[in-house]
Amino acid sequence: MKRPSELAHEEASMATLVELTSAFEGIASMKIAQTKNQVLESTKFFDRLWKIYSQMRVDSLFTFGRDVDEKPLIDKELFIMITAEGGFSGDIDQKILKLVLEEYDAEKHDIIVIGHHGAIQLSQRGIGFKKYYKLPAKDQNINVVPIVREVQQYKAASLFYAEYISLMSQDVKKISLASAVKSRAAAGEDDDAEVISEETYIFEPDSFAVAAHLERSMMQISISQLILSSKLAQYASRFKAMTASHQRADESRNDLHMEFNRSRRAIKDQRLKEIITGIKKSTAGAGN
C-alpha cells in the first residue's frame, strides 16, 4: 500500500485536474451559447436577403452567382469537408471522413478540406485533396470568398459537416450547396410576396448583376453557417469529452481520498498493534 503522503500528493494533483476539466467544460458551454446566438442572428440576416432574391425571380435556377461569360465549368463535383483544426473533436472527423470515402471517386470528385485534422486524416489514407484551408479561429466575419471562387468553377458542390443536435448528440451530414442555400430560405418563403423587376425598381448596375451578387452573398452566408454549425458540434463534442473527463477525475480523486484514509488507518492500526504487543510483553515480564 502507498504511503499517505504519496496518496495526499496524488489527490492534490487529481483535484487540479478536476478543476481544469471543470474550467474547460465551462468554456465549451459558453462557446456553445455564443455560437448558437451567432447562427440565429446570421439566419435572420440571410432570410431578409433571400426574400429580396426570391422576389426578383431573374432565373428559376440557383446559378452559384456565376457571371454569364465565365470559363467552362469543371465537369466534377467538389466535395468540401469541414473538420476540426486539432484533434480534440472526438470521433466526428472520422465519421465525416467515412461519409466522404463512401462516395469519393477520384475521377468524379475533387476535395477541399477545411481544418488541419481532416487534411492529416486524408493524407494518412493516401487521398489527395485540391486545397486545404485552416478552420477559422474566430466565429464572426468568416472569410469564405476563396471557397466560393472554387465552388463557382465546378458544376456541383457538396459539403460534409458536423451538425449540432444537442449537447450530448452530434451527427455528420452531406448537403449539396444549392440545397443548403435553399433549405435555409425555405422557412422564409412567401408566395404572396411582390415581384421585384426592372419595371418596379431601379437597379444599379442591373438586375442580373444584383441577382448574381445576392447568390454569391447567400452562398457565403450558407458556407459560413455550416462552418459555424461544425464548430458548434465540435464544441459540444469537446464539452461531452470534458464532462466525462471531469466525472472520471472526480471519481479518481474520491478513490484516492478513500485510499489515503485507509492507508492512514492502516498505519495507526499497525502502531496500535505494536503498542498493545509491547504492553502485553511488558505486563508478562512484570508478572514473571
- Taking the C-alpha atoms of residue 277 and residue 202, their distance in angstroms, rounded to an integer, is 106
Q: How far is the CB of 204 from other proteins (least distance, A)?
A: 4
For other proteins (CB under 8 A), the number of binding residues is 25
Q: How far is the CB of 47 from other proteins (least distance, A)?
A: 11
DSSP string, 49-71: HHHHHHHH-S-SS--TT--TTPP
Q: How far is the CB of 169 from other proteins (least distance, A)?
A: 27
Residue span binding other proteins (CB under 8 A) among the ranges 8-16, 114-122, 156-164, 193-201: 193-201
Q: Is residue 220 close enough to count as binding other proteins by CB under 8 A? A: yes
- Taking the C-alpha atoms of residue 106 and residue 111, their distance in angstroms, rounded to an integer, is 9
Q: Is residue 2 close enough to count as binding other proteins by CB under 8 A? A: no
- Taking the C-alpha atoms of residue 147 and residue 102, their distance in angstroms, rounded to an integer, is 23
Q: Is residue 200 close enough to count as binding other proteins by CB under 8 A? A: yes
Q: Is residue 229 close enough to count as binding other proteins by CB under 8 A? A: no
Residue 81: beta bridge partners? 113, 160
Long-range contacts at 179-183 (CB < 8 A, ≥ 24 apart): 180/222, 180/223, 180/226, 181/62, 181/215, 181/218, 181/219, 181/222, 182/62
Residue type, 20: L
Judged by CB under 8 A, which of 22, 38, 63, 94 binds other proteins? 38
According to DSSP, the β-strands at 169-176 and 154-166 are antiparallel
Q: How far is the CB of 66 from other proteins (least distance, A)?
A: 16
Site for other proteins in 41-100 (CB under 8 A): 41-42, 45-46, 48-49, 52
Selection from 273, 247, 207 nearest residue 56 by Cα: 207
Which lies closer to other proteins via its Cβ, residue 67 or residue 269? Answer: 67
Selection from 77, 115, 75 nearest residue 96 by Cα: 115
Q: Is residue 204 close enough to count as binding other proteins by CB under 8 A? A: yes
Residue with cell 487529481: 14
Which lies closer to other proteins via its Cβ, residue 111 or residue 218? Answer: 218
Q: Is residue 217 close enough to count as binding other proteins by CB under 8 A? A: yes
Q: How far is the CB of 45 from other proteins (least distance, A)?
A: 4
Which lies closer to other proteins via its Cβ, residue 35 or residue 263? Answer: 35
Angle in degrees, CA 237, 94, 249, rounded to 5: 40
Site for other proteins in 123-152 (CB under 8 A): 140-141
Selection from 113, 110, 131, 133 nearest residue 121 by Cα: 113
Q: How far is the CB of 98 from other proteins (least distance, A)?
A: 32
Which lies closer to other proteins via its Cβ, residue 197 or residue 247? Answer: 197
Residue span binding other proteins (CB under 8 A) among the ranges 58-66, 176-184, 205-213, 258-266: 205-213
Which residues contact other proteins by CB under 8 A? 38, 41-42, 45-46, 48-49, 52, 140-141, 196, 200-205, 209-210, 213-214, 217, 220-221, 224
